[in-house]
Structure formats: C-alpha cells, structure tokens
Chain A
C-alpha cells in the first residue's frame, strides 16, 4: 500500500513538473512559430508541392488552406484544446472529399507540417541540447494529437458521407408500388447485389401481404447486370411470392441479362417474362380481369 502511494505521488509530481515545464516552454514555442509564420508556412507549402499532395486544389486554395491549417495548428499548441481544430478539419474534409482528396494526402500534409516545425525547432535550439529535449517533450505529444485529430476527423467525415449515401441508396433501391388494387410494381434500378436482392425479397413479400397483391410486375430494365447468385435469388423470390398466392411477371430483361440467365442455366420454366413494362402491365391487368379502354374525346368538349 505504502509503496504504491509513494509511487503515485512520485508520478503526480512528475506530471506536475512536466506540465509546469510545458507551461513555460509552450508559450515560447508558440511565439517562435508565430514569429516565423510566413517562412515556415511557405516552406511547408513547397514541401507539399514537392510531394505532389493535394493536387486537386488550386494554388490560391492551397495558400488559403495551408494558412488556416498552420494557424489552427499553432493555436492547438497554445491552448491544448483540439475542439476548434476538429471542427475545422471536419469542415475542410467536407469541402475536399467530393474533390477526390485521399486520406494519405491529408495525413501526409499534417505530418509534413509537423516535420517542418520540428526542424525549425532543432535549428533554433541546436546549441542547447537539454532545452531542445524539453521543447520536444512539450511539442511532440501535442503534434501527435493534432495529427491524430485531423486524420480521425477526415476519416469520420468520409464515413459519414458513405453512411449517408448508403442510406440514400437503401431507401431508393426497392420501392414497392401499388398501381391498381392487387397489382404491385417493383422497378429495379442499378446494380443488384445480394444485399439488395435480399432486401428486395423482404420488401416484396411483406408488400404482397399488406397490399393483398395477386400480381407483381418486377421490372429490371434499369439493372445493368445480374450474376448467378442474384439470378437464383430472383427465381426464389418468384417462387416465394407464388407460395403467398401472388404471381410474378418479370419485364425488361435486357439481351445481356437474358443471355446470362440462359448461360448459367437458371431454371426459367416457371418464370413469366414479358418484354417490356407496358406489356407486363397489360398482362397483369388481363390476369386481374381489368379491361382498360380509351375514351374518345371529341374536340372542343
């Protein structure tokens, strides 16, 4: 117990000492970085150019962004709070992600800045090795935190965008639309992977129950391609729908897909396929006993 206590105390003291020295040294450090702001920022910018990073941005944008990153960086060193930087990094990521800036570039420029600043510290304190050591003790943890914060913010932002897009796709992907009593249409647009196919089945089968559908038209005009798994899944969906008392008409099989289906030997004997959506709807109406007639409209009435 006693030994532990003394150890704790010693650690506390050690930390207090460190933060005390940090308190004294950081302002000095920050003042140095502020004083040489223009020179260091230019050096940094030229290093970025040499490394061919952020080439998606114009020189003017680069100048503006590097200046604000530099100022934010120094501010974090001064205050020790990464919140403002976090906010700035998110904001920056939001602007540059759509332009195709990669994670390695963002991390790369922050590490370059860290390097440029560290070198300038070496240069300034090269004569006093002990002081240099203390300065680095104060600088390194903060610099690491900054690099971490920027990288995490960037990745977070990118993940947020990806999640948002996934949700959007999910919502868009499989609308089950009632067109007449007992008749559902399921247009499939875009690539049909097995996750989407699974979701489609789920929504279709529950749609059949809620709308008490007897006929379902699945239109795959908008699907560029299907693989064997998805094709088989489609067949299973048709069979499952039949078990629930609904017949399925598939329309809009492109020549490519039709060929694929035949080549991979999917059993299509039980599938009711019709060339296009219009034909499919007409067939569905026939099955349901609807007759659609066009009213003759006379001029001027």
Chain B
C-alpha cells in the first residue's frame, strides 16, 4: 500500500510541519496522508501545521472533509492547521458545490500561512 513516490512531502520547520500535496490524491491516498501527518504531529511535537494544496486542480467533498478532520485531529493534539494555496477556480468550485473549510483558517500561500501561525504564537506568548 505504501509503495511509489511520495505524493505528499511533510517537512519540519521549527515546531511547524509543512505538508505539500504534489499531485491529485485519490481517497485512499488521502487517508494515508491523514495518518502520516497525524503521526508526525506527535513525533515532532508540532504546534502548527500548514497544508499546501496549490498543486490541486480539484478539491472534492472527500478531500475537503479529510482536510477538515486533519485540522480537528491536530487541534486535539495541540496543533493549529492552516490550509494554504487554494487556487481561484478551485475556491469558487468548492463554494459552488457547497463545500467549505469550516472553522479551519486558510491563507493565500505558504508565506502567509507561516505569518498567520507566528502571529497566533505572538498572541499566545503575550497572554501566557
């Protein structure tokens, strides 16, 4: 099952995990990605997760649901998830089909996502 080239690369940057989806994922690949990512949150003690979907031409209902559950699971494990890089037509198609990212924050690209996380952390540390 775990054969073939990596469809998603998961890189660690400080306490943030950056997961870039390189190609369209089918449902089972999506599930595998979810497992990999959730496992790595614990391994790396990540506080923030950025999922970059810029390479995706289509985000279907299963994919958007999986992304939402990744974010929910990550939150339970103490990490904030940001989805970045949704393409204009993908965004509009998602909205037309009645899908959204729920409460999961989104940002334009990786840079914006990192800025968002560091802003959150700034707020956190000033409070604590």
Contacts and interface: CB of A to CB of B under 8 A. Distances in A.
A237 B88 CA distance: 10
Contacts of A246: 108
A280 B112 CA distance: 23
A245 B95 contact: no
A47 interface: no
Which of B89, B92, B101, B106 has the most chain A CB atoms inside 10 A of its CB? B92
Interface residues of A, number: 18
B94 interface: yes
Contacts of B76: none
B38 interface: no
Nearest to A270: B100
Contact of B91 (A205, A212, A214): A205
B94 to A, nearest CB: 6
A242 B88 CA distance: 11
Given A236-B95, A239-B95, A239-B100, A245 B89 contact: no
B106 A205 contact: no
Given A243-B86, A243-B101, A244-B86, A212 B95 contact: no
B92 A245 contact: no
B1 interface: no
Interface residues of B, number: 17
Contacts of A208: 88, 108
A202 B83 CA distance: 21
B46 interface: no
B108 A240 contact: no
Contacts of B83: 243
A201 interface: yes
Contacts, number: 51
A214 B115 CA distance: 12
Interface string A236-275: 1101111111100000000000000000000000000000
B84 interface: yes
A161 to B, nearest CB: 33
A209 B108 contact: yes
A240 B106 contact: no
Interface of B: 83-84, 86, 88-89, 91-92, 94-96, 100-101, 106-109, 112
Interface of A: 201-202, 205-206, 208-209, 212, 214, 236-237, 239-246
29 contacts: A201-B92, A205-B88, A205-B89, A205-B91, A205-B92, A206-B88, A208-B88, A208-B108, A209-B88, A212-B108, A212-B112, A214-B108, A214-B112, A236-B95, A236-B96, A237-B92, A237-B95, A239-B95, A239-B100, A240-B88, A240-B91, A241-B91, A243-B91, A243-B94, A243-B101, A244-B86, A244-B88, A245-B106, A245-B107
Given A209-B108, A244-B86, 14 more contacts: A205-B88, A205-B89, A209-B88, A212-B109, A212-B112, A236-B96, A237-B92, A237-B95, A240-B91, A240-B92, A242-B106, A243-B83, A243-B91, A245-B107
